Structure formats: structure tokens, C-alpha cells
Amino acid sequence: MKNKSYILIVLTFFLLTGSCKKDFLTVTPLDQYAEDGVWKDPALIQSFVNNIYLGIPHGFSALMLSSCADESMAVWDWESSNVTNSLLTPSYLGIFDLNFWTSKMRYITWDTSYKNIRACNIFLEKIEGVTFDDKNFKDQLTGEVHFLRAYYYHQLTSLYGGVPIITKAYILNDDFLAPRNTYDECIKFVTEECDKAAALLPASQSGNNKGRASKAAALTLKSRTLLYAASDLANNTTWATGFSKPELIGYVGGDRTARWKAAKDAAKAVIDLGANSLYKANPVLNENTSKNYGDIFLLTETSEDIWVRFVLAQYENDWDNGNPGLFNGPNGWHNWGGNTPIGQLVDDYEMIDGSKFDWNNPVHKASPYENRDPRFYASILYNGAKWRPRPADVKDLDPNGIVQTGFYEKPGNVVKAGLDTKKSPIEDWNGTSTGYYLKKFIDPNVDAQYFKQEIPWRFMRYTEVILNYAEACIALGQETEAKTYLNMIRKRAGMPDIPASETGLLLLNRYRNERRIELAYEEQRYFDVRRWMIAPQVYTNAKAVNILYKLLPDNTTSATPTYSLSTVQQRSWKNSHYYLPIKLDEINKNKNLIQNPLY
């Protein structure tokens, strides 16, 4: 009897093991959502759109685009000098390669852009079939995605020229070998997407949606795109000697005046929208305009923000994100030095009276950091500038928090190095080579060696629109109109008006300098020097200032330094670098792609 009951147990066992066959192997994932679940639920759809925003590169990474242009030099190089030396090839994309080791620059690559474009395409294919209780919400999301798709294509077109326009979400067995579209087609596509977005989006965003795209953002993107399209690079393909498909990198023929007109109208549309205004546009006498300008980048919100990326320290788990203070602050504050301004940028800040700064002017040379454009004091840390208090362990050496990028001669052939130099007792390897550090964007209230700041990155601010408008006006010969708008910006900065007599090339150069100073480090210059085709003139060896407090005959150290200039980084330009090369591997995969000229 007993045996039989045991056998029964075993048989039951067999049945238990085998009976649940069908359901047994059907396991649903517990850590992700199934596709059909997503495209029913507006909240999940919105979080899908959120992810597309996260693919947009912003400037708060350790290596900034400024170090690939004539604004700064990366202390640790990280192969940025291969860009400033024009050494990129289809076989070597350096920092523009997906596999480059710092995380942030990857967002600017061909690979990442197309991944996010695919997400846009999926959304636009699926959204039609989704029922929303709130139609406005659906429109809002759809508008955002059109904007985002426009942004990615704008970025690709600016970097590579015409690229394949893909508006379909591919499935596994599709034919993927899309050829490049012409430059013209790309610009048309981007502006159409901007229009679609503008039609669906509110003039500006507020409350919980502040960081999302608005009509103002869509129109600003359109303005930027059309301005680029009207610029020299897109309208003069002769630099690409012998290139068989010039239509891929610019316009061949057509009416350029109409393009400037379109650029002007697009900028005007943002102005007329009235959603934004210049921050503190009308300073009173003796108002601290330097602080006003600096605050634009230190406040969490200003009237000129069109589209920004907010930052919350708690959620920033990527080391290469949202920490400009640590990346760029001086080593004497235990920061990494980072993207140090080069002499050329510093020297381009005008004197307070609107005249040019000149090292050959003995007055200027004796005290180069006095009486400069107020924006200089908000953007650059220079020797003698007062900044935040030093960290506890350095405080004894400098109780006042004064930047020290100079050297002090002491008796007995001793040269004592400033705390923020490459010979500092504090993390000397991160000391500046140029004599300067970045101040713009860096929250002085945060001890960046431990804490991340929480200031948004501005992708688009109203000032840019004013500048875009002025640039188009100058090109169209409407110089008075241009000056009216440029003077708004100068006035806010505490700078005198442009002389009424200044016209033509002088005015153009004044405008370009104004844009360079006002938008310094805002990821505009890299594109500006290309589209203006001034890259050959500006990719010159990086300049530095050397500061020495000399030993006086009475064996004391002079309280006033002497300055000398040197070059610290070799730079050179090749025309191929107007556009990036398409990776050889990608061309090997897609025979329909044509490489950019001169590679």
C-alpha cells in the first residue's frame, strides 16, 4: 500500500511538471513595456517623446564645441586639436564618432541623430491611430515631434550638408540604402517641419512644460536654418573644387536675395510673436550691466529663454553632464580647467567706449583687463578677477578668492606659481595654458568639486533672433534697421551704440564680432565661422597671455604684473572641414552615399 502511495506521488509530480506546458513558457517582461501598451497610453507616449529630447546635444559637457572653434582650447585636449588642425578623415572622425569615449559628444553624431529621427518617425506613424481624450495634448506632442525632427535634420545638415531624409520607420527587411538629399531639399524639409510644429504648438510654454518646444522655438529654429541657408557657405560651392554633386553641399543657382529675405522674415516672425523679450533691455545709469548679462546664464528663467534644457543635480548620473563648474573652473578651486578661452576670443572684447582692444596700445597693454566690454567680466576669469571663495583647503593660500594665473618672482631666483597655473600646488595638470578660464554659465554659489549646479542650458534665446534679424538686414542693405536691433543688444550690455557712420564691411565685421561676443560658448561659433567662410582666417595658432610679477630692485615683488604673449596650440585649416566627412564604414554599407568634397 505504502509503495503505491509513493508511486502516486511521483506520478502527480510528472503531471505537475508537464501539465502547464502552454502557459508555462509564456513570460512577459517585467522591466519594460510592450509596444501595443505604449501606443494606447498618452502618458507613455509623452515619455517616448521625452526620450527624443534627451538625444539633443547641449553644451554642459566636459568637452565643449567651443574648443573645436576659435573660442577656447581644451586643457586636456581629448583629440579636440585634431579638429582645430583639420585632421578629420572618413576613417577618423575623432570626437564626432559614436565610439569616441566621452559620452556627450556622441549626441552630435550621425548615428545618434538618425536613431532619434527614427523615434520621431515611429511617433508620427503611430500617433494617427491613437485616441486622446484631450486633442490639445495630441497636437502638442505632434508639434513637439515635428520640431524635434526638424532640429535633428538641421543639425545634420549644418554638420554634413545634404543628408538622406528618412521619414519612415524602417522594419527589419526594408531597403535601407537611402541616397543623400540635396541641400535645398533638406532646408525645405526642415522649414516645413518647423511650420508644422509652429501651427500645433503654443506661443510659449509654461509651468511643467517649460522645457518643451513652443511655437517660438519652432520659429527660431526656422530662422536659424534659413539664416544658415542664406549664408556664404551654402551659396558658394566653388571651394569644393571638382566636386561632382555641389547640390549636396549648397544651392546651385537660385535667388540668394530671396533667401536673405526669407531669413529676415523668419526672424521677424519670432519678434512679432512677442513671446519673448530681451532680459533687462533698458539699464539705468550705472546699473551693473555685466551682472545683467551674466545673470542670463545663471538664472533658472529669464524673459529671453526660447528653448532651454533644465538640469536637476539629483538626476544627473552621467559624469559628463551638467557640471560646467567642475569641467571649466580653475584648478585652484579643484576644478578641471576645461575649455579655456584663447587669447583671440579675449582680445575681441571691445573697450567700454566701443573701440578695439589692442596689445600694441601701451595703455591697453599695461592694464588689459580694465575698461572692457562689461560682458567680458561676466564671461571670462582672468588674472586678478575676484571669484567665489576658495575651497576650505586652499583658503589659507588665498583668502579673497582672486584668480591667479600669473607667476611671482621672489628673491633667490625663486618663481612662485599662481594657484591657478600649470605649476600650482593644486592639481597642476588641470591648469590653464592660455592664462584664462571660463566664467559664463558657472554658478558661483556652488562648490563644483562636489556639487552639480542646476542652471538650464539655453539652446535658443531671444538675443540670437535679434542677431539673426540684423544679419539678414545687413545682407539686404538695410543697415539702419540692422543697427537699431544691434544697438538693443549693446545697450543691454552697457556698450555704446554703433556709430551712425559705420557701414558696409565695417558694419558687417562689427556685427560678426558682436555675435561672437554675445553668443560666446553657446555652440554658435563653430557653425558661424564656417557659414561665413572665415574659418581659414580664424583657425590660427591659439594665443595665450603670460603674466609675471617681476622682482623689483628692492627685492620685493611688483604688485602689478607685466604681460607677454605666446602661442600655445598649433591650429590650421583645410577647406574639407567646412563639412564633416561621412564615415567610411557608413559609405561601405550604403553605396548610394556620396562623400563630402576634399576628403
Q: Which of residues 89-128 bind another protein (CB under 8 A)?
A: 89-92, 94, 98, 110-111, 114-119, 121-122
Asked if residue 197 lies in contact with residue 144, where contact means CB atoms within 8 angstroms, the answer is yes
CA 16 to chain centre: 62
By CB under 8 A, tell whether 202 contacts another protein.
no
Q: How far apart are CA 57 and CA 523, in angstroms?
A: 10
Choice between 236 and 576, CB closer to another protein: 576
Question: How close are the terminal C-alpha atoms of the chain, in Å?
Answer: 89
> Exposed, middle or buried by CB within 10 Å (0-12, 13-18, 19+), for 178?
middle
By CB under 8 A, tell whether 401 contacts another protein.
no
Q: How far apart are CA 167 and CA 125, in angstroms?
A: 9
By CB under 8 A, tell whether 210 contacts another protein.
yes
Among the listed ranges 215-223, 232-240, 338-346, 563-571, the one in contact with another protein (CB under 8 A) is 563-571
By CB under 8 A, tell whether 320 contacts another protein.
no
Question: For another protein, which residue of 393, 412, 505, 555 counts as binding (CB under 8 A)?
Answer: 393
> Exposed, middle or buried by CB within 10 Å (0-12, 13-18, 19+), for 78?
middle
Question: For another protein, which residue of 129, 131, 207, 555 counts as binding (CB under 8 A)?
Answer: 207
> How many residues appear in the chain?
599
Please, what is the Cα angle at 100 between 94 and 105, to 5 degrees? 90
The phi, psi pair for 309, rounded to 5°, reads: -115, 115
By CB under 8 A, tell whether 26 contacts another protein.
yes
Give the residue among 548, 576, 522, 536 at the shortest CA–CA distance from 72.
Answer: 522
Q: Taking the complex as a whole, how short is the minimal distance between the CB of residue 591 and another protein, in angstroms?
A: 6
Question: For another protein, which residue of 129, 133, 172, 241 counts as binding (CB under 8 A)?
Answer: 172
Question: For another protein, which residue of 58, 138, 212, 245 counts as binding (CB under 8 A)?
Answer: 212
Choice between 182 and 379, CB closer to another protein: 182
Q: Residue 498 is inside which H or E element, if any?
A: none
Question: For another protein, which residue of 13, 355, 363, 550 counts as binding (CB under 8 A)?
Answer: 13
Q: Taking the complex as a whole, how short is the minimal distance between the CB of residue 314 and another protein, in angstroms?
A: 4
Asked if residue 202 lies in contact with residue 214, where contact means CB atoms within 8 angstroms, the answer is yes
The phi, psi pair for 329, rounded to 5°, reads: -65, 165
Among the listed ranges 1-9, 61-69, 267-275, 523-531, the one in contact with another protein (CB under 8 A) is 1-9
Q: Taking the complex as a whole, how short is the minimal distance between the CB of residue 550 and another protein, in angstroms?
A: 19
Instruction: Give, as ranges, the residues between 177 and 196 that touch another protein (CB under 8 A).
Output: 177-178
Q: What is the DSSP letter of 132?
A: -
Helix (H, G, I), strand (E, B) or coil at 104: helix
Question: For another protein, which residue of 81, 220, 340, 383 counts as binding (CB under 8 A)?
Answer: 81
Q: Taking the complex as a whole, how short is the minimal distance between the CB of residue 414 and another protein, in angstroms?
A: 9
By CB under 8 A, tell whether 299 contacts another protein.
no
Give the residue among 115, 118, 123, 108 at the shortest CA–CA distance from 48.
Answer: 123
Question: For another protein, which residue of 129, 135, 208, 555 counts as binding (CB under 8 A)?
Answer: 208
Q: Taking the complex as a whole, how short is the minimal distance between the CB of residue 20 and another protein, in angstroms?
A: 7
Asked if residue 587 lies in contact with residue 566, where contact means CB atoms within 8 angstroms, the answer is no
CA 72 to chain centre: 13
By CB under 8 A, tell whether 73 contacts another protein.
no
By CB under 8 A, tell whether 51 contacts another protein.
yes
Question: For another protein, which residue of 40, 136, 167, 176 counts as binding (CB under 8 A)?
Answer: 176
The phi, psi pair for 41, rounded to 5°, reads: -110, 110
Among the listed ranges 206-214, 278-286, 359-367, 505-513, the one in contact with another protein (CB under 8 A) is 206-214
Q: Taking the complex as a whole, how short is the minimal distance between the CB of residue 288 and another protein, in angstroms?
A: 25
Q: Taking the complex as a whole, how short is the minimal distance between the CB of residue 546 and another protein, in angstroms?
A: 11
Q: Residue 567 is inside which H or E element, if any?
A: strand 562-569
Amino acid at 280: K
What are the cell numbers at 586? 557608413
Among the listed ranges 203-211, 217-225, 226-234, 490-498, the one in contact with another protein (CB under 8 A) is 203-211
Q: How far apart are CA 340 and CA 227, in angstroms?
A: 29
How many residues bind another protein (CB under 8 A)? The answer is 114
> Cβ contacts of residue 534 below 8 Å, gap of 6+?
512
Question: For another protein, which residue of 274, 399, 425, 496 counts as binding (CB under 8 A)?
Answer: 425
Question: For another protein, which residue of 33, 255, 445, 537 counts as binding (CB under 8 A)?
Answer: 33
Among the listed ranges 88-96, 186-194, 358-366, 515-523, the one in contact with another protein (CB under 8 A) is 88-96
User: Strands, E, within 292-349: which ranges?
Assistant: 305-309, 339-341
Question: For another protein, which residue of 7, 363, 552, 565 counts as binding (CB under 8 A)?
Answer: 7
The phi, psi pair for 592, rounded to 5°, reads: -80, -5
Asked if residue 542 lies in contact with residue 434, where contact means CB atoms within 8 angstroms, the answer is yes
Instruction: Give, as ranges, the residues between 427 and 486 that touch another protein (CB under 8 A).
Output: 427, 429, 447, 450-451, 454
CA 580 to chain centre: 17
Choice between 90 and 354, CB closer to another protein: 90
Taking the CA atoms of residue 84, residue 85, residue 86 and residue 87 in that order, the dihedral angle to the nearest 10 degrees is -120
Choice between 101 and 367, CB closer to another protein: 101
Question: For another protein, which residue of 42, 124, 164, 594 counts as binding (CB under 8 A)?
Answer: 164
Choice between 408 and 485, CB closer to another protein: 408
Question: For another protein, which residue of 1, 16, 284, 285 counts as binding (CB under 8 A)?
Answer: 16
By CB under 8 A, tell whether 163 contacts another protein.
yes
Choice between 269 and 308, CB closer to another protein: 308
Q: Taking the complex as a whole, how short is the minimal distance between the CB of residue 261 and another protein, in angstroms?
A: 33
The phi, psi pair for 255, rounded to 5°, reads: -100, 105
Rg (CA), the chain: 28
The distance between the two most distant Cα atoms of the chain, rounded to a whole number of Å, is: 117
Q: Taking the complex as a whole, how short is the minimal distance between the CB of residue 178 and another protein, in angstroms?
A: 6
Q: Taking the complex as a whole, how short is the minimal distance between the CB of residue 190 and another protein, in angstroms?
A: 17
